[in-house]
A and B are shown apart, each in its own frame.
Chain A
Amino acid sequence: MSVSERPIERPRYSCMLGGVLATAGALPKTVPIVHGAQGCGGSLAQAAMLGGCYGTGYAGNAAVPSTNIGESEVIFGGETRLREELESVFDVMKGDLFIVTTACMTDIIGDDAKAVIDSLQPLPKPVIFLEAGGFKGNSYYGYGRLIEELFLQYIPRAKKKRADLVNLLGLVPAYDPFFRGDLEEISRLLQQLGLTVNTLVTAGQSHADLLAAGEASLNIVLSRLYGVDAAATIKESHGIDYTVTDLPVGAVATEAFLREIAEKLGIDKALVDRVIKREVTSYYNYVDRATDIIADTDFQNYAVVIANGTEAIPYAKYLDNEIGWIPTHVFVTDDLDEDQQQVIRSAFDAVPFETSPELVFETDTFKIQQYIEQNTPQFLADEYYPTISPAFVLGSTIERRLAEVLSGPFLPISFPVYNRIILTRGYAGFRGGLTLLEDLISAQLAPR
């Protein structure tokens, strides 16, 4: 069910431009340039910091140049200011790719930014342009649109595909706080199947990798919602087939994921079996180590998962299918339309939960707590009712209060997450599953 739509406080995403800037800032040697009002770039840099202290990187976040237009540009048009800014940026900033975006104000007044860019030919380096007025959508939408334009305007259309090359899409820098660790783990696994993997947005990716992305034979979208439209566009423009899967978290999900991809690409089954056997053996070797503390600490928990449409179900599935917890509620916190909610419902229904949690679409932090309090027997009467607390809360940093209400440990895993820095850490794949296990146990042990 959907309890409410747009939250007016503590939002769990920013605007389209926010997604574009966070993504552009993750691309190798890329300089985003904002043609917008004073405040857009800076505020969105702060917003992205809520993605595990995302940071500036090459020329993202706090380093993004902006035209900082004022009232005069709003009235008379900001094209002259944009030209001046572009000339200055090309002069002083080194980058292999420039991404020029408009923002709300310049989209409303209708500045023809594309014409300004075109008038500056020859351009010193490749320039991508996209209209990114924040009112067009949220940061997840911005990610998808930038990926689309990256392919349409920058990545060459290769007729000949490389059977061993795949691209990973769907994880949004900063707004999926573990995007780097997750993508790197998925890459590591796919590489063992003999594949070359472009993540586009992790350390070590180069422009050679980006430019080769058009030769890929498959785009793997690790989200049921985000990057899917982009993948469809790329299929049309570049002839790259795509597959949409859940983000695999833990041994069970990851084994299924690898088999699914291998089958799609026609990879030798014996190789797949060997890789999976090696990974699974290693995985349970570590799990084995953890069984002592698990047994000692009465580790089986009720849990509430609060995350975006990409992460919520994979985490709940991991808790239920892999470590035997009982997730009672899964809150999907994005602002989704009916079709998108249906996509999530279908993915949710396909999970073989031992005890099926309740799936709720809700973005408002207070209403999430209210929902649990008003729909859980233990909060309705003093005794003779089964209780779910102590319940473990896997949510964003702003779920701390809910964790107190449920008297359980708390692990911040979804945007906004600003009480931990996230660099290499990820929860996807085999290693990510182990990391998640470590973090869950550590959260439980932390009060010791």
Chain B
Amino acid sequence: MAEKEIKQIAIYGKGGIGKSTTTSNLSAALSDMGYKVMQFGCDPKADSTNTLRDGTYIPTILELLRDNGKVDAHDAIFEGYNGIYCVEAGGPAPGVGCAGRGIITAVQLLKQQKIFEELELDYVIYDVLGDVVCGGFAVPIREGIAQHVFTVSSSDFMAIYAANNLFKGIQKYSNAGGALLGGVIANSVAPDSGYQRSIVDDFVSRTKTKVMQYVPRSLTVTQSELSGKTTIEAAPDSAQAKVYRELAKRVDEHTESKTPNPLTQQELRDWAAEWSDQILAIESGEVTSVAAAI
């Protein structure tokens, strides 16, 4: 059996920004395109794949490891929507142990057992928790795991800080064969959202990357999630599903990722301060050339 190229993607972003929602819809859309997809949740909360499985939780790799001492990867893989393989790394309870080590262990376990090749996957998508706070959370972007990283960010400064931190992580590993940055998925940012889009656009231009898709806020997403499904599954004909399908198409066509150019701490602070001034001016009704440009 000739080994086929598996496209491995890691999706990062600040907690609560919509990573799992975006990842699950991306997985669902890629699956609809005929690809064999695995979604790998790398978050101790283990809820990345819920909407691919009607809102249900699955046993995690680390739970199986803890209970049995060893894990056969097959026992940790569960099929979800349209045959998507769902895996959750899992991790310790909040405040104990080392979640980062958990991610390393879980990712290595699947890699060692050559499960991706066995399942003849086209895509493995890692949905990784929040900030890259320690080495464990950087595992998917280190050599030999993912090739492309996409970061989900809104126009909130905290989300952008997290994205910038991720860029630092990518830059660090870029010389050692690590994953490179594909781009930013602007979540809760409509293409016509005025300064919100401008903030994200400005950030990606300064850090020398690009926006993969603007994903507006949508009630359809909330409704779909409440029914335990992705938007692709629950509302395939909705405008929002179209946005996700477009994203999937761009991800599928994306071949060349790059080393980002993260801002330094001071640059980021100055940049944020500059935008704060502009936003305050916009909200107080002051008309300036910048606001006019938006």
Contact = CB atoms under 8 A, between A and B. Distances in A.
Interface residues of B, number: 14
Interface in B90-107: 91-93, 96-99, 101-102, 105
A76 B105 contact: no
A74 B65 contact: no
Contact of B91 (A75, A110, A111): A75
B96 A111 contact: yes
Contact of B66 (A76, A79, A108, A109): A76
A185 B135 CA distance: 52
A11 interface: no
Interface in A76-112: 76-79, 108-111
B96 A77 contact: yes
Contact of A71 (B96, B99, B101): B101
Interface string B53-86: 0000000001001100100000000000000000
Contacts of B101: 71, 74-75, 109
Contacts of B97: 73-78, 109
Interface SS of A by simple majority: helix
Contacts of A76: 62, 66, 92-93, 96-97, 102
Contacts of A109: 96-98, 101
Contact of B105 (A71, A73, A79): A71
Contacts of B92: 75-77
B91 to A, nearest CB: 7
Nearest to A80: B96
Interface in A43-81: 71-79
A75 B69 CA distance: 13
A114 to B, nearest CB: 14
A75 B107 CA distance: 13
Interface centre among A71, A73, A75, A111, by most B CB within 10 Å? A75
A72 B102 CA distance: 9
A72 B98 contact: no
Contacts of A108: 98
Contacts of A74: 97-98, 101
Contacts of B69: 72
A73 to B, nearest CB: 8
B67 to A, nearest CB: 9
Nearest to A105: B98
Contacts of B65: 71-72, 75
A72 B97 CA distance: 9
Contacts of A72: 65-66, 69
Contacts of A110: 96
Given A76-B102, A77-B92, 20 more contacts: A71-B105, A72-B69, A73-B97, A74-B97, A74-B98, A75-B62, A75-B65, A75-B66, A75-B91, A75-B92, A75-B99, A76-B66, A76-B92, A76-B93, A76-B96, A76-B97, A79-B96, A109-B96, A109-B98, A109-B101
Interface of B: 62, 65-66, 69, 91-93, 96-99, 101-102, 105
7 contacts: A71-B105, A72-B65, A72-B66, A74-B101, A75-B97, A77-B92, A109-B101
